Every structure is written in structure tokens, then in C-alpha cells.
Structure 1
Amino acid sequence: MKKIIIIIFTAFGFSTLTNAQSLDDYFKLAAENNPGLQAKYKSFEAAMQKVTQVSSLPDPNLSFGYFVSPVETRVGPQRARFSLTQMFPWFGTLKAQEDAATLMAEATYQEFLDARNKLYYQVSASYYPLYELHKLISIEEENQRILSSYKEIATIQFQNDKGSMVDVLRVDIMLKDATSNLSILEQKQKPLVTRFNKLLNRSDDDNIVVQDSLFTFSLPANYRKDSLLASNPILDELELKIEASKASEQAAIKQGLPKLGVGLDYVIVGQRTDVSLPDNGQDVFMPMVSVSLPIFRGKYKAAQKEAQLMQESYSLQREEAANRLISSYDMIWFEIQKQIELIQLYEEQIQESRQSLNLLFSAYSTSGKDFEEVLRMQQQILKYQKMKATALSEYHIALAELDYITAKSK
């Protein structure tokens, strides 16, 4: 990357920085500070907490009962009862639930990666218009200087009876247009700077360092097309959701099987006072085993059907996303090639127009005629310079979008 120049537009958010920041530095700042991206990561962390929740055993149940009217037994009256039970899901149920939650958490992480890549694209799409605007301002300022020099020459030619006053007035009109255009461009800086800074979660008027020049790159045919579907967070997210739905289906099947329970009852027994017995007043311990009877099958079948339908839904979403990526790739690739051709065209037009301008200006300096053609050619150069700056910006924005859909940052 070419050396970044120092751009001084303090009033509009540009200022001198000793250590110039590259676009990659702004990517890092955005990844660290953007609240939307931080929210996506918090969602991933929250999804990870779900894994522990669904893979843990249910809480044991402790109950206490007091006999208002003691139950008389051979060894004494029963005073109170403590009961402790623990239920266990069918074998493999917790593992299936854990797998489903883990896969959904991984899918959430892929969603975070896609959000990060999209943020990088948004930063690029906000950065390059700043380059374009700076270039347009520079071009318009140069146009003002050239027109001012033309006005001086036209005035001298008029004073020497080699030109007309109309030539001076024509330059005046163009100078007013240039001044108005420059004012509009300078007003445009503030919203562009604000948009860029807000992506980085910074103050509206924080300083931004912009490159002084951009270049096109020689890209091979089908650039990064092989990674379009092979490693894309959007597709990986949906694939993981499909696997999570399969695990949820297995979990639903397991939940429809009996649950096993073990427990222990402890009964406090009072002593009999009317007779002497070996086990008089002996407390009672009673181990228990229980089994749930999942005879109401509707909810279990519905859970299985829900998981199956979600698998189909995610599969269709993945197919649609793949189609969208492929069509987007072709459109973006066309846009890149289009801008490359336009940039080459504008550069050639600028060079040829400058040659024509030099010839026209030489003729005017001698004869004082055809000043209108000199001005027209100068405005044509100005037009091509502006169009080239816009095309360079559009080229790099399209290239950033291509990097996004092919997950270059993954």
C-alpha cells in the first residue's frame, strides 16, 4: 500500500497524524468497538451457557411430611417422613440435548463471524467515499487555480486587443460554479465522517486519515470463487443448524422414553410405652425405584416433527443462500471488471484531452481566438478526473463486497 499522506481538514474531521492508520487498523478498531458486533458475540456466549443447562440432571426432590394423627405400627407410631428422590432421563438423552445446544452455539458463532465480515465491508464502503470526496475536493481546487490563471490571461489578451471581454466573463461564470461545487463537497464531508466514525463507535468528529491514492489490481479469473461456498459463515451457520435439528430430533425421541428414578424414604417412629420390643421406636429407611410412564405421546411426536421441519427449513434456507451468493458473485465480478475498464478509459481520455488542451492553449496565446474551446477542454479534463476518482472508489467498494461474500477474513 502506498504511503498515506497527511490530510489537513480539521474542520471536517481530517487532521495530521504522525502514525497514519491504514484501513486494516480501522477494521481492528471497528471489531473492538462496534456495539452491534459485540452484541453478536454476547449472543454466542449466551448460547454457550445453554449447553450446561440442557446437559445437567434435574434437581433432586426432597419432601417432608408430618403425621397429624400418628400411624400406629408394631414398633411404634410414625411421627414424620422425609423423602429424597432423583430422576434420570433415559440413556443418551442428556448427550443428545448437549449436542443440539452445542451445535446451535457453534451456529451462533458463525453468525458472529458473518457479522464481523459484514462490518469490515461496511467500514470499507464508508472509507472509500471519503477518499473519493477528498480527491474531488483536490480536483475542484486545482480547477479553481487553473481558471484563475485563465482569467488573468484572458484579461491580458483583452487589454492587448487579442481577446474579448466575453472570455473574461465566461471564466468568471465557471469560477463561480467551481466555488459552489467546492462548497457543496466540503459540506458533504461531515455526514461521511460521522457515518464512518459511528461504525467504529467513536465521536462524530474524530480524526480520519485517508489514503492519497488508490490502484487497481490484476485479479485472476474466478477470483476466490472456489471459497464462495466452501467456507462461508452464512452457509456454515445453516449447516450447523441442520445438524442441531437432527440432534434435537434424537433428543425428542429420547425424551419420549421412560425416565428412571431412585429415592430413599426416612420415617421417624416414636417408641411404644405399653410394651417392650427389640425394635421399639426404630426409624425406617426405605429405598425406592420409580419409572415414568410416557403414555401421552402427542407432545413427543410434535417435538420430533418440529425438529424434522426445521431441518427442511434450514436446508432450503441454505440452498437459497448459496444461490444468492453465486448470483451476487457474478454481479460483483461484473462491477469490478466494469470499473477497471472505466478507469482505463478515463485515464486515456485525460491524457488525450491534456494534449488537446495544450494545442488549443498555444493557439489561443497566439491568436486570442477559440478561448471557449480552451475552457470546454479544461472542463472535459475535470469531468474525466472526477469520474476516474468515483470509479476507483466504486472498484474498491465492489472488491470489498467480494471479499465479504467469499469470507476472506474468516
Structure 2
Amino acid sequence: MRTITLSFLLLLGISFSAAPQSLEDYFRIGAENNPGLQAKYKAFEAALEKIPQVGSLQDPNLSFGYFISPVETRVGPQNARFSLTQMFPWFGTLRAHEDVASLLAEAKYQEFLDAKNQLYNQLAAVYYHLLEIHELIAIEEENLRILQTYYSLATSKFENGQGSLADALRVDIMIEASKTNIEVLKMKIIGSNSWFNSLLSRSHDASIEISEKLEISTIDRMILPDSIQTNPLLESINLKIQASEASVLVAQKQGMPKLGAGIDYVIVGERTDMAIPDNGQNVLMPMVTMSLPIFRGKYKGAQKEAELMQESYELEKAELNNKLYGTFYRYSSDLQIQENLISLYEKQVLTSEQTLQLLYTGYSNSGKDFEEVLRVQQQLLEFQKMKLKAMVAYQTSLAQINYVTAKTY
């Protein structure tokens, strides 16, 4: 059983630095504030307190008896009796109990680590959604700026008799649509901020600072499936399997006799009818006791229970292994898909920008093919959005892989 010497905040890597800007900063705030995570840690601390309980001897028994009718003996009447007895379990029983409690406490600690990883995964999902909205707003604002430039050009062309009023009206419609999209996206930020703050256990209207940009790194895809074996849920089940093995030994030890040691102290009164040696001498009598575990059913049942629980945990581990590896390969495949899509959209964005530049130059000179300019502009906008969507999907899949492989931040 590991010795826990760090405080809860140090364990989570909490630091009190400047205003948060990155996802890792929000991870630290969430780990510090989230009550669900704190509850898991308290459950671990409570499990640690179980160890000294099961590793202690039973309380000694002290009894007192008063003879209403004193028992006459040669040295005087017996008036009262005190008895003190301490029972001792079979050799190694307390140690076996401690082993079980320690392993179960370790399992609670691993469950706490998994809860932390789950919280990080949830925060990442909402954070990337917020990041997507902010970048969509930036794309729409740039699109709006370009459309307003087109509107000015179309209006100028119409006034000079080189263009059509319909061109200006088409741009105006697109400008209004772009403004509406920006307003809708800003409204979405409010709801997403509230959800993000709920995970951070902060006021729903607390400000969320998003300073990062979506970036894709090939290093992200170098995570190996072997890392799955470090997943806290798997480690928790392994510890429960070990605890079940130790419980079998506990059941065997409990089926052995218990030994006891004690003393009896008898208060003896003096005889008044004669003088004899040791008259009124109190009696001190050491005693040894032993329990007889002859009813074996409960001990066999406890041993069988521990063995069945061990088999249950083994099957649970196999099922969890299947799920974790399935999740890993599923999202690893999705990373590759999104990476390919990102590469495709980057090329399409570049080609659309080049095409748009040529069309725009042509329209500036001749006042023709304005519809084609607008069509390519909208095509460029869609490619930019699809690239952004693929980048968010990439990061979301990567967050799932980080959870499965228990990546630490």
C-alpha cells in the first residue's frame, strides 16, 4: 500500500498562477473545485481509515461478579470476582485483514484517478466546442468583412454603369445572413460557457478565456495501445482481484481456533472463627482459553464467496479490456480520417483562395461574373468551416484516446 504524503491539491498538481488561458489551466481549476472529484478522494481517505480498524485486536473483556451468598473456602469466604480476558486471532489473521483493506483502499485511489481523467475528458469536449465557436465567429467576421468590400465594389460598379444592381442586392443578402450567423454563434457561447463553468464548479456567468488556436501535431498520434494497461479502471480491478485472493486467506484464518489469555481475581474475606495461614488471602488465577470453530459452514461460505468474487472481477477485467482497446482503435482510426480530411480541406481552401483572387480581379476590371465570385466566396467559407470541424473532431478523438490511455497532464 503506497504511503500518501501529499495533500489533495498537490496530488492534482494545483498551482495558483495567472488567469487561465489553456486547457491545462482549466484542468487544474476543475480538479481543485469539482465536488464529485473531491468526493472520490474522500472515499479513498475513508478507505485508508479501515486499515487500522481491521488490523486491531478485539477489545478485552472485563467482568465482575459479586457473591450474594459468599462461597466459603478454607481461607475465607469468596465475596467478589474480577475477570479480564483478551482473545487473539490465529497467527497472520490481522495481517491478512490489513492486506485486504489496503488493496481495497488502493482500488479507491485508482477510482479517484479515473474520475479525474473523466473530468478532464468532459472539460476537453466542452472546451474544444467553445474553441470551435470562437473560430467560427472569426471566420464569419472575416467573411463579413470581405462581403462588405464586395458590396462597396458592386455598388461602385453599378453607379459607374459597369455592373448590375442585382449584384449589390445579392451581396446585401449574404451580408445579413453572415451577421445573423455571428449573432447565433455568440448566443451559443453563453450556453457553452455555463456548462463549462458547471464542470469547474464556478458561477455560470464566470468569464471563460479562450486564447488557444486549434493545432494538429503528428506527435499526438504516437500513443501506443500498450498505454491502456495504465488505465486506472484496469488497475482498480487488478487490485480488487488481489483483494479477493487475500480474502480467501482471511476466510481460512478465521476458520482456525482463536486463543485467549486472562486472569481471575477473587476477593476473599477473613475467617473470624479461627486463625489459619493465608487467612483472607485474595486469589489470582491465570487462564488460557481457545475457541472451537466446529461449525464450518460459514467459513467455507466466506471462502467460496471470495473465490467467486475473484472470478467475477476477472471477467469484468476482460470486458473492460475489450472496451478500452476497442475505443482506442476506433478513435485512432478517426484521427487518421480527420487528418486526411484536414489535409484535403487545406488544399481546397488554398485553391479556392487562388480562384477567388482571379475572379475578383476579373470582376474589378470587367464587372462580369460577379455571381461566380460570390459562389466561390461561399465555397471558400464552407471549406474553412469543414476544416475547422475536422480539426475539432480530431482533438475530441485525441481526448478520448488520452482518457483510455490515462495520459497525465
Write the deviation string for residues 293-350 of structure 1: whole angstroms up to 9, x where unpaired: 1122121111111100110011111111111111111111011111111111111111
Q: Output aligned runs, 1:196-211, within 5 Å.
A: 196-211=196-211
Which residue pairs with 1:132 in the alignment?
A: 132
Q: Where does residue 93 of structure 1 map in the other structure? A: 93
Q: What is aligned with 2:108?
A: 108
Query: Is 1:288 matched up with 2:287?
Result: yes
> 1:352 and 1:319, CA in 2 relative to 1: closer, same or farther beyond 3 A?
same
Q: Once the 2 structures are TM-superposed, how far is the Cα of residue 19 of structure 1 from its aligned partner?
A: 6.0
What is the 5 A alignment of 1:213-362? 213-219=213-219, 223-229=223-229, 231-362=230-361
What's the secondary structure of 2:279's corresponding residue?
coil
Q: Encode CA deviations 1:87-138: one digit per residue, 9 max, x unaligned.
A: 0001111111111111111111111122222222222222211211110011
Contact 2:85 2:263 in 1 (8 A): yes
Residue equivalent to 1:57: 57
Query: 1:279-300 CA distances to partner (integer Å, 9 max, x unpaired)?
Result: 2211111111111111221211
Q: Tell me by how many angstroms 1:189 deviates.
A: 0.6
Rounded Cα–Cα distance in structure 2 between residues aligned with 1:359 and 1:339: 30
Specify whether residues 29 and 18 from structure 1 end up closer, same or farther in structure 2 by C-alpha distance, changes over 3 A only. Answer: closer
* 1:404 equivalent in alignment to 2:403: yes
Unaligned runs of 5+ in 2: 1-16
**How much has 1:223 moved relative to structure 2?**
2.7
Q: Which amino acid aligns with 1:138?
A: A
1:231-253 deviation per Cα after TM superposition (whole angstroms, max 9, x unaligned)? 22221111111011000110011
Deviation at 1:175, TM superposition (A): 1.6
Q: Deviations over 1:179-211 (max 9, x none)?
A: 211111001111211222222222223333323
Contact 2:22 2:212 survives alignment (8 Å): no
Over 3 Å counting, the alpha-carbon distance change for 1:143 and 1:194 in structure 2 is same
Q: Structure 1 residues 93, 362: CA separation in 2 closer, same or farther (over 3 Å shift)?
A: same
Counterpart Cα distance in 2 of 1:257 and 1:127: 59
Q: What is the alpha-carbon distance in structure 2 between the residues aligned to residue 239 and residue 200 of structure 1?
A: 31
Which amino acid counterpart does residue 68 of structure 2 have in structure 1? V
Q: Tell me, in whole angstroms, the C-alpha distance in 2 between the residues paired with 1:143 and 1:240.
A: 57
Deviation for aligned residue 1:39? 1.2
Q: What's the Cα RMSD here?
A: 1.8
Task: Report the CA distance between 1:221 and its aligned residue.
Answer: 6.9
Q: Distance between the aligned counterparts of 1:94 and 1:408, measured in 2?
A: 37
Counterpart residue number, 1:178? 178
The TM-score, its normalising length taken from structure 1, stands at 0.91
Most deviating of 204-213 and 141-150:
204-213
Distance 1:20 1:233, change over 3 A: closer
Distance in 2 (CA, whole Å) between partners of 1:77 and 1:160 is 135
Q: What are the equivalent positions in structure 2 for 1:369-388 lying under 5 Å apart?
A: 369-388=368-387
Give the AA of the match of 1:297. R
Residues matched between the structures, number: 393
SS of equivalent residue, structure 2 residue 208: coil
Quickly say closer, same or farther: Cα 1:220–1:142, change in 2 above 3 A: closer
Return the offset for 1:220: 8.3
328-337 or 391-400: which moved more? 391-400
Q: How far does residue 222 in structure 1 lie from its aligned partner after superposition?
A: 6.1
| Unaligned segments of structure 1, at least 5 residues | 1-16
Q: CA deviation at 1:388?
A: 1.5
**Matched position secondary structure for 2:119:** helix
Measured against aligned partners, the alpha-carbon deviations of 1:11-45 in whole angstroms (never above 9, x if no partner) come to xxxxxx98663322222222222211111111111
CA distance in 1, matches of 2:171, 2:312: 66
How far off its partner does 1:408 sit?
1.9
2:341 is matched by which residue type in structure 1?
L
Q: In the alignment, residue 153 of structure 1 is paired with which amino acid? A: L
In the alignment, the residues of structure 2 paired with residue 371 and residue 41 of structure 1 have an alpha-carbon distance, to the nearest angstrom, of 64
339-348 or 144-153, larger mean C-alpha shift: 144-153
SS of equivalent residue, structure 2 residue 326: helix
